[in-house]
Amino acid sequence: MRFSLFNLVRQGLRGHADWPEQWRKAEPARSYDVVIVGGGGHGLATAYYLARRHGIRRVAVLDKGPIGLGNTGRNTTICRSNYLRPESIALYDHALRLWETLSAELDFNVMFSPRGVLMLAHTRHEVEVLERHVHADRLAGVDNVWLSPREAKAVCPPLELRSLRFPVLGAALQRRGGTARHDAVAWGYARAASALGVDICEGCEVGGIRVEAGRLVGLETSKGPIATETAALVAAGHSSVLAAMAGLALPITSHPLQALVSEPLKPCFPCVAMSGTIHAYVSQSDKGELVIGAGTDRYPSYGQKGSPPVIEDALEAVCELFPIFRRVRMLRQWAGIVDVTPDRSPVIGESPIRGLWLNCGWGTGGFKATPGSGHLFAWSIAHGRPHPIVAPFGLERFAAGRPIDEAAAAAVEH
Amino acid sequence: MLLIPCPFCGPREEVEMVCGGEAGAPRPTDPRALDDAAWTAWLYGRVNRKGPQNEVWWHRAGCGRWFLLARDTRDDRVLGSWPIGAAPPAGLGLGEGGG
């Protein structure tokens, strides 16, 4: 059932009792043309674009639990494309352009809100680094402007410019950047993919990958074997665990990335503010909660909790930069397990095993890329070769000595 | 806050420490004898184990020494630590390749 004013009024008169389920609860069939392992935003988007743009509809999305409860439900919902390297700018701006029309495309409100992303500089070195980002982005045709401290304050009035620890010397602003509702992205893609015939199989855990003569032939799952010649591993922090089933060792280390939300406040924070020095970023959700991102824990872990020193660092900085928040209470804290690569850039492409595709290594910045990742990955799978925008991101770049050393990824050491 | 048992100093807070990653992958003695695939596998390949693994840690803000630590990456439980070169405590010698 489409979301429309007519249907909203009609369902309202019936007490909202007749809304159908948003996606079918499917059980896996014995074979598929493409199986996506991982029911987060990237996996669901890939399935949607395979069905919608490429007519490949015998597609399954498998998730060991319910969809959207991994990093898709654990990020800080920021969308931006103000990266440094030309390859990354092209990739993330492709995603940002899809964000701008995504609600209409999916007939599902993903609440994309381009409220501006402000990146603060606290040292002379950071001023130079961020100015370089601004120039790199503008040369690539992507909006990013340099602001004086006073101009930054005009964009973000709660900002304290003269903190002793973290004085604001300037800021880069990408006005097209902003936030989107993370759960709605998973639900919207699942709903749209399911309507096109994609099977979304929740509670179906992959336990083995069958390879014969260097080619993928199928998957072993908790709901029985599935025969397929094409599968895509889109499992973020658990990518190494899955790849090991096929004998692959990926250049990935899994770290917790922590975030927390405050009690709801009246609207008081108009943009997204980020600080690379102190690994803290803040926005305000439509419910009024402050959504605060911290850094990654320094040790590898699969435990979705993290350790207090990291959030203490982030909150100290938030209180310095935004003194109005000093007495706000925090409600919830959690961590997502992010898949960090040596060059902070994702791995997208076919693995050395024919038919087994990888889309991982997004690290701390996967959410913003969700529509672009799915769109370009689906194109690549459908054509059997990487889309030109993702071609530089293949696994082979490490052996070739062509890493994409991306300094604009958030919350990681460089 | 993790309490990391330095084998030289005793249990210390994690903020004194630096995790150096998976243990058990020594630098090849003659890198020039390796082909690109073998060199790339050593340089970039990670087990990234979900479960007990052996790691190297550096007590940066303490004695400044490196040591081995066994830790379960599912729940961050520390299983034991020992000096590099010493025999691991009973049950923690989890084998080659990072345990």
- In angstroms, the separation between the Cα of residue A396 and the nearest Cα of chain B is 10
Tell me, yes or no, whether A383 lies in a domain.
no
Return mean pLDDT, chain A. 96
- In angstroms, the separation between the Cα of residue A163 and the nearest Cα of chain B is 25
Q: Spell out which residues of chain B touch residue A244, defining contact as CB-CB under 8 Å.
A: 47
CATH number for the domain whose boundaries are B3-28+40-83: 3.30.2270.10
Tell me, yes or no, whether A84 lies in a domain.
no
Q: Is A334 left (phi over 0), alpha (psi -120 to 50) or beta?
A: beta
> Among A23, A77, A30, A76, which Cα is nearest to A51's?
A23
- In angstroms, the separation between the Cα of residue B52 and the nearest Cα of chain A is 10
Compare A298 and A278 and report the one with higher pLDDT: A298
Task: Give the model confidence (pLDDT) of A209-226 as tens digits.
Answer: 999 999 999 999 999 999
In which band, very low, low, confident or very high, does the pLDDT at B54 lie, cut at 50, 70 and 90? Answer: very high
Tell me, yes or no, whether A276 lies in a domain.
yes
Q: Range of A129's domain?
A: 114-177+253-337
Q: What is the pLDDT of residue B98?
A: 43
Q: What are the residues whose beta carbons fall under 8 Å from the beta carbon of A255, sequence distance 6 or more? A: A296, A297, A298, A299, A300, A301, A337, A338, A340
The single-letter code of the amino acid at A168 is: V
Q: What is the pLDDT of residue A6?
A: 95
Q: What are the residues whose beta carbons fall under 8 Å from the beta carbon of A327, sequence distance 6 or more? A: none
Nearest to B74 among A250, A252, A302 (CB): A302
Task: Give the model confidence (pLDDT) of A45-92 as tens digits.
Answer: 999 999 999 999 999 999 999 999 999 999 999 999 999 999 999 999
In which band, very low, low, confident or very high, does the pLDDT at B97 lie, cut at 50, 70 and 90? Answer: very low
Give whole-number Cα distances, A157 to A150, A177, A326, A411, A413, in Å. 10, 18, 16, 24, 29
CA dist A122 and A275 (Å) reads 8
Instruction: Examine the pLDDT at A267 and tell me if it is beyond 60.
Output: yes
In which band, very low, low, confident or very high, does the pLDDT at A404 lie, cut at 50, 70 and 90? Answer: very high
Contact: A244, B55; criterion CB under 8 Å: no
Question: How far from the centroid of its chain's Cα atoms is residue A189's Cα?
Answer: 14
Nearest to A253 among B14, B15, B46 (CB): B46
Q: What is the mean pLDDT of residues A249-269?
A: 97
Secondary structure (3-state) at A134: helix
Q: What is the pLDDT of residue B90?
A: 83
> Among A334, A168, A162, A144, which Cα is nearest to A256's?
A334
Secondary structure (3-state) at A278: coil
Task: Give the model confidence (pLDDT) of A93-102 as tens digits.
Answer: 999 999 999 9
The single-letter code of the amino acid at A176 is: R
Axis-axis angle for helices A86-106, A182-195 (nearest 10): 70
Alpha helices in B1-99 (DSSP H): 36-44
Task: Give the model confidence (pLDDT) of A281-299 as tens digits.
Answer: 999 999 999 999 998 999 9
Q: What is the pLDDT of residue A223?
A: 98
The DSSP string of A379-398 is: HHHHHTS--TTTGGGSGGGT
A6 interfaces chain B, CB cutoff of 8 Å: no
Tell me, yes or no, whether A152 lies in a domain.
yes
Give yes or no for a contact between A92 and A372, defined as CB atoms under 8 angstroms apart.
yes
Secondary structure (3-state) at A370: helix
Phi, psi of A243 (to 5 degrees): -65, -35
The 10 Å Cβ neighbour count of residue A329 is 6
Q: What is the pLDDT of residue A409?
A: 66
Instruction: Examine the pLDDT at B10 and tell me if it is beyond 50.
Output: yes
Mutate which of A241, A242, A254, A302 to disrupt the B interface (most B C-beta within 10 Å)?
A: A302
Q: What is the pLDDT of residue A278?
A: 80
Tokens 């922590």 label which residue?
A: A258
In which band, very low, low, confident or very high, does the pLDDT at B25 lie, cut at 50, 70 and 90? Answer: confident
Tell me, yes or no, whether A128 lies in a domain.
yes
Range with lowest mean pLDDT among A111-115, A122-126, A168-172, A277-281? A277-281
Q: CATH number, domain at A136?
A: 3.30.9.10
A81 interfaces chain B, CB cutoff of 8 Å: no
A384 interfaces chain B, CB cutoff of 8 Å: no
Instruction: Examine the pLDDT at B56 and tell me if it is beyond 60.
Output: yes
Q: What is the mean pLDDT of residues A109-122?
A: 97
CA dist A360 and B50 (Å) reads 17
The 10 Å Cβ neighbour count of residue A164 is 6
Instruction: Examine the pLDDT at A179 and tell me if it is beyond 80.
Output: yes
Q: What is the pLDDT of residue A70?
A: 95
Q: What are the residues whose beta carbons fall under 8 Å from the beta carbon of A293, sequence distance 6 or more? A: A76, A78, A257, A258, A259, A280, A281, A282, A314, A410, A411
Tell me, yes or no, whether A144 lies in a domain.
yes
- In angstroms, the separation between the Cα of residue B76 and the nearest Cα of chain A is 7
Total count of domains within chain A: 1
Phi, psi of A29 (to 5 degrees): -80, 180
Percent share of chain A, pLDDT over 70: 98
Contact: A309, B44; criterion CB under 8 Å: no
In which band, very low, low, confident or very high, does the pLDDT at B99 lie, cut at 50, 70 and 90? Answer: very low
Radius of gyration of chain B, Cα coordinates, nearest whole angstrom: 14
- The interface pTM score, or ipTM, of the predicted complex is 0.93
